């Protein structure tokens, strides 16, 4: 539900709410540049949300398939691999992001 709300908000420009978008500058050229950059950021946000949802669904399928075949709920070595990959690529924030991704796919521990 929260992901759906976030996706909807990311798709709505400030003008949709009847307000001028706040850019933090009164310089028209800079303001237009900022609006263009924000448009791309919004596109990326929509893609990230869709990928997040797809990843969570796939991870849930993996877990259901593993448990239905008599396997364990978690494979800790796989979780460690994911944590390491994100930490190496993104530093400490990558670890936090990976933990959120893992939780989205398997639920809280």
Environment class of 52 (CB within 10 Å of its CB; exposed 0-12, middle 13-18, buried 19+):
middle
pLDDT in tens, 72-105: 999 999 999 999 999 999 999 999 999 999 999 9
pLDDT in tens, 24-39: 999 999 999 999 999 9
Residue-level pLDDT at 67: 95
> What backbone torsions phi and psi does residue 13 show, to the nearest 5 degrees?
-70, 160
CA dist., res. 3 & res. 8, Å (int): 9
pLDDT in tens, 42-74: 999 999 999 999 999 999 999 999 999 999 999
In the chain, what's the furthest Cα-to-Cα distance?
A: 63
Residue-level pLDDT at 13: 58
The pTM of the full predicted model, rounded to 2 decimals, is 0.75
């Amino acid at each position: 539900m929260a992901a759906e709300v976030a996706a909807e908000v990311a798709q709505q420009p400030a003008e949709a709410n009847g307000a001028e978008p706040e850019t933090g500058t009164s310089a028209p050229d800079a303001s237009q540049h900022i609006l263009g950059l924000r448009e791309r950021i919004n596109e990326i946000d929509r893609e990230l949300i869709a990928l997040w949802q797809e990843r969570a669904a796939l991870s849930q399928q993996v877990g259901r398939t593993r448990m239905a075949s008599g396997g364990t709920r978690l494979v800790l070595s796989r979780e460690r691999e994911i944590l390491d990959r994100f930490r190496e690529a993104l530093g400490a924030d990558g670890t936090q992001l990976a933990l959120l991704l893992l939780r989205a796919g398997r639920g809280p521990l």
